[in-house]
Amino acid sequence: MATAAVLGFLQGFVEWLPVSSEGVVAGAYALIFDASLDEAVRFALWLHLGTVPSVLIALRRDIIDIVREFLARPQTPSPTVRFLVVATIISGVVGLPLLLTLSDISSVGGTAATGLIGCFMLVTGYMQLRRREELDKHVREELNLLDSLLVGVAQGLAVIPGLSRSGMTVAALLSRRVDRKRALTLSFLLSVPASLAASIYVGVESGLVFEAEAILAAFVAFVVGLLTIKALMAAAAKMNLGWFVTAVGVVIIVGALIAWLL
């Protein structure tokens, strides 16, 4: 139970930072339980069931505004509504096959899985370090189809453990000259349907929905996420965590190598 609570705490804390909460949780799970990559990633995806409600509560005003906007003009949805719908569909088309493929590599053991996750975290760190700062005078207000396609693909690829969903989607939006604060808000709004669908699918398919430890971990993730989302989103909007993610990736890889040698 204590281990489940710790994993839930990790999810609730790092979900709001561009450091791949899935990679951190899956890496810890694989190392602690010597679990396969498939099992570790499924548990990490399950924990999003805890942090999704945190997003709904913290961003409820944005969500209410979007719903009102859509209901007022259902035949001509706003660019924001179109962006969220198209990007969600694209992320499902890209991410679902990757999620299903994880079961085909379930033979990858705990140490190897941890090392692989560390490698993908290095990729995330590199992307964060290369992410350019946007200039206010170059900020775009309108979202278009290309924005939806790029961000949808980025979110779909983030099913791979170690690739930060928020890091990749925010980087994609910044590259399209979307304001940093707005990019972060859009990223987390976009996470709701994808994360909720993935966590429910994994929970039912893997039986986690019936396990007391898994339920406890998700509950802890919800509580911690609700307490930290505002502060950490504000911090993430100002900081480039590339070096931090890179360092975490290196530590994970070194830890996996040591465990393999021993």
pLDDT tens-digit readout, 72-90: 887 888 888 999 999 999 9
- In the chain, the amino acid numbered 178 is V
Number of alpha carbons in the 13 Å side-chain half-sphere of residue 112: 8
pLDDT at 136: 47
Q: Three-state SS for 178? A: strand
Beta strand segments in the chain, E: none
Tokens of 163: 């690739």
CA proximity to 153, closest of 131, 175, 132, 169: 169
Rama region for 20: left / alpha / beta (φ>0; ψ in -120 to 50; rest) = left
The total of structural domains in the chain comes to 1
61 CB-contact burial (10 Å; exposed 0-12 / middle 13-18 / buried 19+): exposed
Per the structure, the complete domain to which residue 61 belongs is given by 2-261
Report percent pLDDT > 70 for the chain. 81
What is the spatial distance between Cα 190 and Cα 184, in angstroms, rounded to a whole number? 10
Positions of the chain with pLDDT lower than 50, given as ranges: 106, 133-137
Q: Residue length, the chain?
A: 262
pLDDT at 84: 93
pLDDT at 135: 44
The packing angle between helices 37-46 and 21-33, to 10°, is 130
pLDDT at 171: 77
What is the spatial distance between Cα 1 and Cα 82, in angstroms, rounded to a whole number? 42
Global pTM reads 0.77
Q: Are 117 and 244 in contact (CB under 8 A)?
A: no
What is the spatial distance between Cα 152 and Cα 59, in angstroms, rounded to a whole number? 20
Q: Are 95 and 156 in contact (CB under 8 A)?
A: yes
Name the CA radius of gyration of the chain, rounded.
18
CA proximity to 171, closest of 154, 157, 156: 154
What is the spatial distance between Cα 90 and Cα 83, in angstroms, rounded to a whole number? 11
Residue listed under structure tokens 């480039």? 240
pLDDT at 17: 76
- In the chain, the amino acid numbered 48 is H
Q: Three-state SS for 199? A: helix
CA proximity to 243, closest of 10, 11, 18, 7: 18
